[in-house]
Amino acid sequence: TVHTLQPREEVERRQRRMAAMMRARSRRRRHALLAASVALLALASFARAERRHFVRIAEDGTSFALDDTDFYVHGFNQVQLMSHAADDAPAPQNASSSHQNGRAKVLEVLGDAETHGFNVLRTWAFNDGVGMWNALQVYPGIYDEKVFRALDWLLWQCRRHKIRVLLALANSWSEYGGAEQYLEWARSRHDNSSGEPYPTSFYSSLACREMYKRFVRKLLTRRNVYTGVEYREDDYIFGFDLINEPRAPTAGELHSWTREMADFFKSIDGNHLLTSGSEGFFGPSTPSLKKFNPGDWTSTHGNDFYRNHAISSLDFAVFHVYPDTWFNEGEGGETCDLDCAIAFTQDNIRAHLTSPLPKPVVLEEVGKKGEGRDRYLEEVFRAMHDSHMDGGYGAGTM
């Protein structure tokens, strides 16, 4: 047999051709794997989206629904849980329950709530000002990541305890900073040469509105470090209050602020329910219902239950009831015993549930002190629940 040696050039040409074929085959394999990975990720994302279960407005418009099942709010208020969760220093060994660290206290609250069947927690998602205990927003747009992670942890734990969360975005009172802190920040930054008027009201100040919006955007787009889910995609967040108990100099000022902020919120988050956080005093839009307010003094705080909650970007209405604070300790200087408190509250609840507003109504805060408290609360809870069972607009109590 005679072997003919191939020229060096021919051997190198064949080697290059073989290498090119191998590279092409490798590219095709990588592209196929990439396409498969993309498809799997898309399916996983779709599956995750399908698994999300947001509380919605029921088809009849009178109540809430979860997966087409009636969802009546049996809730409670614990406003400080984020701040307690940020106080995570270990407790001393063998310490009593009063010396538990913050997260242990939070877990105790959530455990008790789950045991007693509560399904919604209302709490603060804000704490403004460098001087506040465990402040979240220490300066405008500057946040303490430790406190943000505490809020992340709280939401994660609520999910584990099967409790949804109603988050308030600000406070109209000075506690936890709130509107007064925003106004102080706006005044400290005011430039007389800018042409903007000196800030006199949180609700009318352009600077306050912009700071509030920046905070809302930051919160809604926050990705929870424990769940990996953005707040606006978290289905264990029941909804949001724009601000706790807003009071403004005029009804027009509060209405303008509420409309602007509600529309802004919905431009970022279309998943969650939104409400005002208002005490729910009746105003000029329903003059016949003003007699159910606790006094004429309410007309100076800008509230108008029907007009403000009729804003299309608000999904449901809320109101608060505090007969002791409003009468015995309040601006009206009146007194109101237990029978008076029960009668007033029953009339007040009925007025809110039968107003012209065609939206679910939640009694978001209620309180009574001293003897007869249990009887009072029993009457309140029964009135709201009876409305719900009769097909009315009563959608829950906290």
**pTM confidence score:** 0.85
Phi, psi angles (nearest 5°) of residue 275: -140, 180
pLDDT, the chain, mean: 89
Which neighbouring-strand residues pair with 170?
A: none
* Cα separation, 95 vs 102, whole angstroms: 13
Amino acid present at 322: Y
Residue 139 parent element (H or E) = strand 137-139
Q: Answer whether 128's CB lies under 8 Å from 182's CB.
A: yes
Other Cβ atoms less than 10 A from the Cβ of 290: the count is 17
Each of the 398 residues of the chain gets a pLDDT tens digit; together they read: 444 445 556 656 666 676 666 666 666 666 556 655 544 454 444 344 446 899 999 999 999 999 999 999 999 999 999 999 999 756 555 555 555 689 999 999 999 999 999 999 999 999 999 999 999 999 999 999 999 999 999 999 999 999 999 999 999 999 999 999 999 999 998 877 667 788 899 999 999 999 999 999 999 999 999 999 999 999 999 999 999 999 999 999 999 999 999 999 999 999 999 999 999 999 999 999 999 999 999 999 999 999 999 999 999 999 999 999 999 765 656 788 999 999 999 999 999 999 999 999 999 999 999 889 999 999 999 999 999 999 999 999 99
pLDDT at res. 43: 43
Q: Please tell me the predicted confidence (pLDDT) of residue 93.
A: 58
Active site residues: 245, 365
pLDDT, position 156: 98
Starting at the edge strand found earlier in the chain, the sheet holding 237-241 runs 273-275, 237-241, 164-168, 120-124, 73-77, 394-397, 361-366, 317-321
pLDDT the model gives residue 190 = 86
The letter for the amino acid at 216 is V
Q: How far apart are CA 94 and CA 267, in angstroms?
A: 50
Report helix, strand or coil for 159. Answer: helix
The string of DSSP codes covering 299-339 is: GGTT--HHHHHTSTT--SEEEEE-HIIIIISSTT-----HH
What are 366's strand-pairing partners?
A: 321
Comparing C-alpha atoms, which of 172, 206, 163 is closest to residue 186? Answer: 206
C-alpha R_g of the chain: 28
Cβ within 8 Å of residue 109, ≥6 positions away: 78, 81
279, containing H or E segment: none
